[in-house]
Amino acid sequence: MESTLNSHYHVDTYRAGYLADLGFNRKIGSDYDMEAYTDFYFGQIPNAAWDPDRERIIFWPALALSDKIIYHEFNHGVTYYLNGGITSSFDEEGAISEGNADYFAGAKTGRSLIGDWYIRAYPSYADPDGDDNDVRRDMSNPIIATYTDYLNRNPGPHDGGEFWSAVLWDLRNDPGISTAQADHLVYASIARVDGNPTFAEYRSAMIAEDQAVYGGTHVCTIKNVFASRGIGTPGFTAYINGPGVVNPGETNTWTAVTSCASGTVTYQWDYQPEGSSTWYSLGTSQNVTTSFWDPVYLRIQATSGGQIATSTMYVYVNPDGCSEILCNQESETDITLFDTKVHKPGVPEAYQIFGNYPNPFNHVTEIRYGLPEEAQVRLVIFDMMGREVSRLVEERQAAGYHIARWQAEGMPSGVYLYRLEANGFVATGRLVLLK
């Protein structure tokens, strides 16, 4: 009787908390019922479970006295209603299923240790396989602490769930987001992912939800928290904004552009002549102004809050071009056309494609090409299935050297193809996007 009353109290309390705090009334409605049984025996081992076939939560009688065990199983039922494809399988999907249930039980009670009552009541069953984990799951101090460790151990859903819930618990306790906002992002992403989601896919769903509800305010926090456990790349990134084709001896400026900085940003610029293995320092400000006579690799290393972001850019020096030093700026221009730049003088004798740099790249890369005459130019990016994903250039362009920038933010990692067409000239190449 005591266990039955306790389970009813906690289920009703938890359900009310979901409705008030997470907006389940907008997602589930009033027609969703879940049964709870507090006298279900699992052989000789105390246990509790969600039964999807009959849509009920079932408990060994004594376990219905534990608030977090009730909340954990209740979560499985809610998850099943929102996304029946998420089950406790032996993969990342299973870790998400169990980890989410642990997370919300901990969020409701404010306690990070899952199974604390179970350990006291049934110490002989607390760790049946002797790996010091199982129901002894602590989101603040997980046995599996990094994604690399997760892959090496290949754990079951409960042990893997401890790792996943620790990532979510880190987010909930990060000063860059409120606990209510973190709870909402975790909950709402259940319905955003397809069945059998990976950690990376769930992270992407949380970012999409944040952009939709909070205007992307917490995207940097999400990326940094997940990256600290080895999932995805950090939010702090840097890239170089400046010309990729210059004239010999011409003075130009390059600027370091950063995102998701967690404090003051410091900069270190270096360059490496093409064919050399030595880097030379150029300065420590956000901008660098200099000139080159031969092609170089230009590198920026930005540091903020202990995080380091590095980006490298290839700067091609046009051997047919000239600068003020060489020809007193005769007809020299720098014309901006949409996302491409035309640098004159210097017109190639034939159509040229210099490929893209950097390659592989994180989220921004530049494709450089030369036109010996005015031409109708088309430059398109395709995925490996042959589907067009971006059209960078579709216009008539003057003779000269051109640069087209592809910003691949939001695109999945992988190999892509570009195709350049101009007056019958066709060139293709491969781009490798790594995140």
Q: How far, in Å, are 256, 268, 272, 291 from residue 284 at the CA level?
A: 11, 5, 16, 17
> Quick one: pLDDT at residue 179?
93
Sign, CA dihedral 166-169-171-174, equals negative
Give the number of other Cβ atoms within 10 Å of residue 303's Cβ.
19
Give the number of other Cβ atoms within 10 Å of residue 311's Cβ.
22
d(CA 268, CA 271): 10
Adjacent-strand bridge partners of 301:
268, 310
Whether pTM exceeds 0.75: no
> What is the secondary structure of 236-301 as a DSSP string?
-EEEEES-SEE-TT--EEEEEEEES--S--EEEEEEEETT----EEEESSSEEEE--SS-EEEEEE
Contact assessment for residue 326 and residue 307, using Cβ atoms and an 8 Å cutoff: no
> Quick one: pLDDT at residue 322?
52
Domains and CATH numbers, the chain: 2-228 (1.10.390), 234-330 (2.60.40.730), 331-435 (2.60.40.1930)
Contact assessment for residue 329 and residue 341, using Cβ atoms and an 8 Å cutoff: no
Q: Which amino acid is residue 33, in one-letter code?
A: D
Q: How far, in Å, are 41, 122, 127, 372, 409 from residue 45 at the CA level?
A: 8, 9, 12, 79, 50
d(CA 168, CA 222): 9
Per residue of the chain (435 residues), what is the pLDDT tens digit? 344 444 444 455 555 554 444 444 444 444 455 666 566 666 666 667 767 776 777 665 666 556 777 778 888 877 887 787 788 888 999 999 999 988 988 888 888 887 655 544 444 444 545 544 445 678 998 989 999 999 999 888 888 999 999 999 999 999 999 999 999 999 889 989 988 899 999 999 999 999 999 999 999 999 989 999 999 887 888 889 999 888 877 889 999 999 888 789 999 999 998 888 889 999 999 999 988 888 899 999 999 878 888 999 888 887 766 544 344 333 333 333 333 333 334 678 888 888 888 878 888 888 988 898 999 999 999 988 888 899 999 999 988 888 898 988 889 988 898 999 999 898 888 888 887
Which residues, other chains included, contact 94 with Cβ-Cβ below 8 Å and sequence gap of 6+? Answer: 87, 88, 156, 157, 160, 161
Contact assessment for residue 139 and residue 189, using Cβ atoms and an 8 Å cutoff: no
Contact assessment for residue 169 and residue 140, using Cβ atoms and an 8 Å cutoff: yes
> Quick one: pLDDT at residue 326?
40
**Backbone dihedral angles phi then psi of residue 199, each to the nearest 5 degrees:** -60, -45
